[in-house]
């Protein structure tokens, strides 16, 4: 039943960038954003990505009465001791735009040499069959890179314009959606999630 091509699965997100990426990666499945059901985003009160992803998945499953997928992700910068971390989406404050968050990040890293600007995107993905699912499926992905000194590119969202991808020698925001989804933290987590779900069904 989970992740079948005929079963609707609610995506617990209102982030248009995430919705677009996840629907592309899981093409062929009926992935419907929670906004279709007028579900409001759950408050992310957890201190870890796992906690927040479960909170969001449970909220969507509860209100939609359908299986749900949720992710919580963020950027870890070594020179900032892991910041922005779990508050990546609100690094510059509640309601901050992507541009606000990027600007604050660049300001915090001002004067830090390139070799010390190592960073990684981390994504935790959760699948719940229903709101009371005692055994949520949890997967994660990690994408290593470095923070640039200025923004480059117009694709993607969030911190993509300042995240350097060594293997492609460009910023994440310069990658096509297909290439990004094939190597990103979110793509890794989703592929791992689907594998784990299939294994649980055996």
**Active-site residue identified among 72, 78, 100, 160:** 72
| Contact (CB, 8 A) for 80 and 68 | no
| Contact (CB, 8 A) for 120 and 186 | no
Angle between helices 16-25 and 185-201 (to 10 degrees): 50
Q: Which of 146, 128, 145 is nearest to 137 (CA)?
A: 128
Q: Under 8 Å CB-to-CB from 182, ≥6 apart: which residues?
A: none
- Answer yes or no: 98 catalytic: no
State the Cα–Cα distance between residues 65 and 167, nearest whole angstrom: 42
State the Cα–Cα distance between residues 129 and 66, nearest whole angstrom: 7
Strand pairing report for 68-77 and 118-128: antiparallel
Q: Which of 80, 81, 74 is nearest to 186 (CA)?
A: 74
- φ, ψ dihedrals at 125, nearest 5°: -115, 135
Edge-to-edge strands, sheet with 137-147: 31-33, 9-11, 68-77, 118-128, 137-147, 163-165, 170-171
Residues marked active site are found at 72
């Amino acid at each position: 039943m989970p992740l079948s091509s005929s079963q609707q699965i609610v995506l617990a997100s209102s982030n248009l960038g995430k919705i677009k990426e996840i629907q592309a990666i899981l093409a062929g499945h009926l992935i419907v954003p929670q906004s279709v059901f007028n579900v409001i985003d759950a408050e992310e009160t957890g201190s870890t990505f796992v906690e927040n992803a479960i909170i969001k998945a449970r909220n969507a499953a509860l209100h939609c009465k359908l299986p749900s997928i949720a992710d919580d992700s963020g950027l870890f910068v070594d020179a900032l001791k892991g910041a922005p971390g779990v508050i990546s989406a609100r690094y510059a404050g509640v309601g901050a735009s992507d541009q606000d968050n990027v600007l604050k990040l660049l300001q915090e890293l001002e004067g830090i040499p390139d070799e010390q600007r190592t960073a990684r995107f981390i994504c935790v993905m959760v699948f719940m069959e229903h709101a009371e699912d005692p055994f949520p499926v949890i997967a994660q992905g990690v994408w290593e890179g470095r923070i640039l000194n200025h923004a480059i590119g117009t694709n993607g969202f969030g911190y993509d314009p300042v995240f350097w991808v060594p293997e492609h020698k460009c910023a994440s925001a310069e990658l096509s959606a297909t290439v990004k989804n094939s190597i990103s933290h979110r793509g890794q987590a989703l592929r791992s999630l689907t594998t784990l779900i299939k294994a649980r069904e055996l």
